Structure 1
Amino acid sequence: MTRKYHLAFPAAFFAALFGLSACRPPAPPPEQPGSQVYIQTDPAGAAINFDGIDIGISPTTLPSVRTGEHLITARKQGYFEARKTLSIAAEGRIVEEIKLAPIQGLLIVHSVPAGAEVQIDGANRGRTPVLVRDILTGKHRITVSLPGFVPQVRDIDVAGRVPQKVEVKLTSSMGQISVASTPAGALVTLDGTPSGATPCEIPSVAPGKHVIEIALQGHASARTEVDVQAGQKRAVKITLAPLPATVLVNSIPGKARIYVKDAFRGESPLNLVLPAGAYTFRAELNGFEAATKTNTLAAGETNTVELRLTKNTGAIILVTEPADVSVFIDGREYGRTKALQGDVASQELKIDNLPQGQALLHLTRPGFFDLKKNIDISANKTIILNEKLVARPVPFIPNVIVRTGPAPEQTAKGVLKERYANGDTEVEVAPGIFKTFKAGEAVITPIPPEPEN
């Protein structure tokens, strides 16, 4: 709204000036003496009041002001009101300058964390916490900055001397990464740089993509990429997969049957790949007590399990007379004794892995009485047995003539017992006496049967 102001002058002045008369036409006014007053302010733009009348905005000019004392008042937002008395003694041009004192506000700037640099309208005003005592009223822009944090900008309007508080919480320009793993205790590297063991916090990480690697003995290493944002905290949680364990299972003696958790896995020595954990290994071998051992296999490690078996059986060494005797123990046949060249007794026959305790030995050969006897088998001991079978009495009826030379004493009669594939011939040369003739050693011919009458 625009207001019009007029200077107040005496009515006689106007009458004389315009030559007003109720009876005659107006006459030219006489020159009114006065001074021209030019008013300027620092800064310009102040509202000027002259003797109580608002006359405009500085700079401004009054064309004719009478002599005497006059009051000039200047007002401008953000500045204290200024008043000045103007004394005019004579006519002339007067330049009057009024300097306005700015109204300065009070500003308190805090930041979290403290120690941040404060700039107001681009000028450095100190570090937080800071009290600014000389800020002009009006609008201002505050910038709060601290290395490692994102600068913060605030626009404020200072109205007067009432203290104004600005609080700024700074956000880190770096990011953070928290790393956890299952199981814990894994070594962490960030972009190849060691950064602790899980669980751990990695502060002051530059924004951008980073590579996290996690390694723990006995587990497969893990690798992941993390995109870090300024002022943010990224959480990385990784479950590490355990590596399998390897185990070599040996037994003494070897060739034992190996069981793992009661499941047959093969004969020793045996290589196995198993998940980490506790296992029971068992070795079994005929003639031996089973051996058992429990081992805990660590992930990723190589282990050796040795199972020593204790013999729980005995053995016998058997010599028979004659040879070619069938041998039975508790009804099970273990073979025949073999002839020993030039001897009526047999070669030694060893029978091993016999269960300990009492057993029945049974020897048999055609033409001889069976021999049966109880034997005591002891663990890890060997019994030596020499057994002679008794021939069954049979009539001695020669059926071959044996000639070893041309002389009469080199000719004999006997009973043919067996012809062998290698050409040897076994003959009973006298009742109960047997002799084996090598091929070509004798001429053996059948005795012709006597003619029937």
Structure 2
Amino acid sequence: MRKLSIVLAITGGIILLVGVSLFLLGFFKPKLAGISITTTPAATVFIDNVQVGRTPYEGTSQPGEVTVKLVPESADIPLSPYETKVVLSSGIKTVIKREFAETEEKSSGEIISFEKVGGSEASLAVISIPDSAQVAVDGVSRGFAPVKVSSINPTEHQVVVSRPGYGPRSISIKALAGFKLTLFVKLAPDGANPSPTPAPIEIEEKATFIQILSTPTGFLRVRSEPGSGGVELAQVKPSEEFPFIEDDKATGWFKIEYQKGKQGWVSNQYSKKVEKTTSAATPSPSPSPTPKPAP
């Protein structure tokens, strides 16, 4: 009888241990990541070279980087397939939208992805192809892509990305506290897609520029970091104006795009913000009229 009791106790202990282990494994297992894909026209969806369905597609996957390939279904004309890598975040849905055309250049779309950064604030980064596209958030100009909005309300927003000669795209996003939302937008040349071109922004937008003021040296240094300790990247001259990117709360310095694709910081003691009204007909600053720094 005593041996039976010992056997039952050991068996019960093993069952309890296995149950607790399974519970802990399930409890600490990271949440799956979501992915949503819509295309025009419909397309076959491959994730990491495995066919998973066709668009519109909604699915889940383990968090991490995956390769997404979309092969359009068209009986009329051959359309260019699309392939990209995206990083899926636990408990967050990544959104891919694509409008196919005969070539990659004529195709358009966007990708909305998230990166956990911690804290209670939400931020937004917008990247465009081609670059230097005008970015407006809730009707307010935020400069030219690539652009970062360091603090944005964790709620729904409307982002419009436009550039002369290209069809603008209007995207609805929802920023999340503790995450950086990255919006990658591919614009298509006007008339490239069979679908109607979205209407331009009906309201005038104000773009923010940084104007260089007079300095004792006749120029102002552009540095890699805010403050005099940053590495000198270039020199800009008084009266020149550059697209405003963001400001540093600690020093008050301004971040500018001093050359196409190049950004740096300038002292707010010798520069100031200026607002300029822009419209769809206003030329983009790339490659001109953005002034180039003095050698």
Higher radius of gyration, 1 or 2: 1
Larger strand proportion, structure 1 or 2? Answer: 1
Return the structure number with greater relative CO, CA threshold 8 A, min gap 6.
Answer: 2
TM-score by length of 2: 0.25
TM-score by length of 1: 0.16
